Structure 1
């Protein structure tokens, strides 16, 4: 029996509208927020079994993560990507950047790995995450500038109460860093995934009880935004071995050349140093 046959990998592909997406032995498309949608995409929904599908407007792709945590069985590795965002698992390693762009999904196969190759990659690290995005402010200041600052304070209070051992890591990541992996994308061994979800949802369910969720659709996604940041805190706290991979964005041409990407990253780092 080959290495790939002994290990089962399921990477959820979050979908919310009709389109094209990967669907094979590894990639499992899942309709997020199906319980509150008028659409039936004909794929697995996040509304079966133990689920929080009705909370999708506030939790975003975390409703798919919760579904996988509670309902997937006999799986060795679990991941999450989006119908237009996949991990670029091979190619373009000579000049890594956060995002590469292709016009449609037919171009994606050249940048993926066969199951056996993927298993070998997964065994070399504890988690695969997107290459970090560089911001002009610390993660805390960036969140408070773009979202509701009171919510961030409530998140910290809840973490201090429920997981005080994480407080130092939370402050280090949020106050001292200006880069993070976003989109709630990852590939974990199931054992780490289970521990991460236990910690994450224990925090977010309590935060949800304490905050006033905005009527504005963008700010209503508050718990999804928090999940993006907390993923980085969890990995830092546990000193996980991380393999960073670019995101392959489907359906768009590259708006920036590589030189412009480097210049923008440099500018953001300088802004962060000045503002620190």
Structure 2
């Protein structure tokens, strides 16, 4: 049982809990001074990392990992043990820090749930489709819908439903069984690879070229909704931002409704 910590560079990994294993993505071109596990071994899409982001790590996990249970986190974003933001804020205010949830605890959740995912967040004004259109290129989401209609038409109504919601579980973060991951990845990557053939991103800036990572975040929610998966949500946190001052500001903003 492993939580793979996706990274593209060196980070302070010495304080991670047991079974948190760094995985260097984009290993075809990113240096690896810490001798992390790399996403360019075995069957892989490491070379696509500039546009697929952490999904090259997800692909590697799908094709090369043999754990019973496994998950994806980031070098700075982790699951907390908390179910809501208030618990995270108050604990951090008193302790000054917070630790990633132990893998043993994540395993225990899978006794009752199919997936552990990030507590849904609002990503902007309007619904998910409108949010994507504001920050990215709407034509790309239209292409995704067309591909779903072609490859997985039974998912189309679920896609439309999810895109009409205002919040989603972001960051492509999860913990689940390998069996569930295999089902998800077998659905996700054919869609993304088909979209990749349709959309020309050569003139996109470096941020917009991360397109398939952004699409994966939305499609993950479509998958979960359509499959009627039993979900446990946890609050994620950015380890580079969490401290008492951050917690105090967050509590104040919650009280004032900001």
TM-score normalised by the chain length of structure 2: 0.88
RMSD: 2.4
**237-246 vs 255-264, which deviates more?**
255-264
8 A Cα contact 1:53 1:63, kept in partner: yes
Closer, same or farther: CA 60–243 of 1 in aligned 2, 3 Å: same
Tell me how far apart the structure 2 counterparts of residues 46 and 79 of structure 1 sit (CA, whole Å): 15
One of 152, 177, 195 as aligned partner of 1:163 = 152
Equivalent residue for 1:191?
179
Matches within 5 A, 1:1-276: 9-21=1-13, 25-73=18-66, 75-90=67-82, 95=86, 107-109=97-99, 112-113=101-102, 115=104, 117-134=105-122, 135-175=124-164, 177-213=165-201, 214-252=203-241, 253=243, 254=246, 256-261=249-254, 263-264=257-258
Quick one: structure 1 residues 100 and 65, their matched pair in 2 at CA, closer, same or farther if it must change by over 3 Å? farther
Q: Report which stretch shifted further, 39-48 or 182-191.
A: 39-48
> Match of 1:49, SS?
coil
C-alpha distance 51-23 of structure 1, shift in aligned 2 (>3 A): farther
Unaligned regions of 5+ residues in structure 2, if any? none
Moved more, 251-260 or 80-89: 251-260
**What is the CA–CA distance in structure 1 between the aligned matches of 2:131 and 2:239, rounded to whole Å?**
27
For residue 274 of structure 1, what is the aligned residue in structure 2? none
Unmatched tracts of structure 1, length 5 or more: 1-8, 265-276
- State the shift of 1:120 in Å: 1.8
Q: How many residues align?
A: 248
SS of equivalent residue, structure 1 residue 212: coil
Task: State the TM-score, normalized to the length of structure 1.
Answer: 0.83
- Say whether the 8 Å CA contact 2:117–2:169 is kept in structure 1: yes
